[in-house]
Amino acid sequence: MTTRASTPPGKQMLSEQVYTRLRNAIMRGHHAPGDALKPQDLAKEHGVSLAVVREALLQVVGEGLAVRLPNRGFAVPEFSDRRWQEITEARRTLEPMMLRMSIECGDVDWEARVRATHHRLVRAPVYVEGEGEYYSAAWGEAHRSFHRTLLEGCDNAVLLETFDRMWTASELARRWSSHRTPGRDGITEHRRLEEATLERDADTASELLTQHLTLTATALTDCPHGPANHA
pLDDT digit string (tens) for 4-52?
Answer: 345 555 667 888 999 999 998 888 888 888 899 999 999 999 999 999 9
Rounded to two decimals, what is the model's pTM? 0.79
220 contacts 173 by C-beta, under 8 angstroms: yes
Residue type present at position 144: R
Q: CA 44 to CA 133: how far, in whole Å?
A: 25
Residue type present at position 226: G
Residues 169-174 have a mean pLDDT of 86
